[in-house]
Amino acid sequence: KNEVEQSPQNLTAQEGEFITINCSYSVGISALHWLQQHPGGGIVSLFMLSSGKKKHGRLIATINIQEKHSSLHITASHPRDSAVYICAVRGETSGSRLTFGEGTQLTVNP
Amino acid sequence: KAGVTQTPRYLIKTRGQQVTLSCSPISGHRSVSWYQQTPGQGLQFLFEYFSETQRNKGNFPGRFSGRQFSNSRSEMNVSTLELGDSALYLCASRGQGASYEQYFGPGTRLTVT
């Protein structure tokens, strides 16, 4: 079993829909990251969480430390949101080392 | 502030050759981490350098090595290249302290033929 599990692996939505991507992890962490990767490879950090909830524009990320679970929500999805979304965790004693989920390929159709 | 830069962006090498990739972190960041991304294995941690010392190492063979210079710039080297080393190699830099985020460079796309 991977230390970081994401679901779903693939997600297709219509423009305007509310989207949720889930991430579960099995280790103690100091932080959880949500990353976005567009074709071409560049990775952008969307959120870094150690507790609670963060919001940036149409994106919301939550984390439940007790349940070892995090969700990324996209409200009013848009075709430009189409990308791979990756959950990554930083262990309690692992410096800057990140362990990644397999990613969720999101396609938003107009 | 300039972001993380990586050179070269694209590279084609032949099996058996060696390659050196370079990463310049964000100014003031002393931690540099390297990651390999392949379609089959996804993103995997290679190693982390902090103040010129390797602080952490992933599960990769000894053909993969790295170093960090006093200005925090880092290089990684892969010797005796194999076809399976074809991948996107990403570096990320981070400031000190648990609240600091990692910032990723654009990556180097290595193709081994």
Query: For the segment A80-103, what is each residue's pLDDT rounded down to a tens digit?
Result: 999 999 999 998 887 788 999 999
To the nearest whole angstrom, how far is the Cα of B99 from the nearest Cα of chain A? 8
To the nearest whole angstrom, how far is the Cα of B43 from the nearest Cα of chain A? 6
pLDDT band at B100; cut points 50, 70, 90: confident
pLDDT tens digit string along A55-84? 999 999 999 999 999 999 999 999 999 999
Closest CA to A109 of A13, A20, A10, A9: A13
Q: Does A26 touch chain B (CB under 8 A)?
A: no
pLDDT band at B101; cut points 50, 70, 90: confident
Beta-sheet pairing, B108-112 with B10-13: parallel
Inform me whether the pLDDT recorded for B52 exceeds 70. Answer: yes
- Average pLDDT taken over every residue of chain B: 94
Q: Yes or no: say if A92 and A30 are a contact pair by the CB < 8 Å rule.
A: yes
Query: Scanning every residue of chain A, which has its alpha carbon at the shortest distance from the alpha carbon of B87?
Result: A41
pLDDT at B95: 84
Which of A31, A43, A96 is the closest to B31 by Cβ?
A96
pLDDT at B98: 66
pLDDT at A41: 76
Q: Does A44 touch chain B (CB under 8 A)?
A: yes
pLDDT band at A1; cut points 50, 70, 90: low
Which of B43, B44, B102 is the closest to A86 by Cβ?
B43
- Give the pair of three-digit tokens for residue A86: 């990756």
Contact assignment for B104 to A48 by CB distance below 8 Å: no
pLDDT at B33: 96
Query: Scanning every residue of chain B, which has its alpha carbon at the shortest distance from the alpha carbon of A42?
Result: B106
Contact assignment for A42 to B88 by CB distance below 8 Å: no
Which chain A residues are Cβ-neighbours of B45 within 8 angstroms?
97-99
Residue to substitute from A35, A43, A90, interface B, most B β-carbons within 10 A: A43
**DSSP conformational letter for B76:** E
| Burial of A96 from C-beta contacts in 10 A (0-12 / 13-18 / 19+) | buried
| Degrees, nearest 5: CA angle B92-B26-B89 | 25
pLDDT tens digit string along A7-51? 999 999 999 999 999 999 998 999 999 999 998 778 999 999 999
* Interface residue ranges in chain B relative to chain A, Cβ cutoff 8 Å: 31, 33, 35, 37, 42-45, 48, 50, 55-56, 58, 88, 90, 92, 94, 98, 101-104, 106-107, 109
Rounded CA-CA distance B52/B69 in Å is 6
- Give the pair of three-digit tokens for residue A19: 């989207």
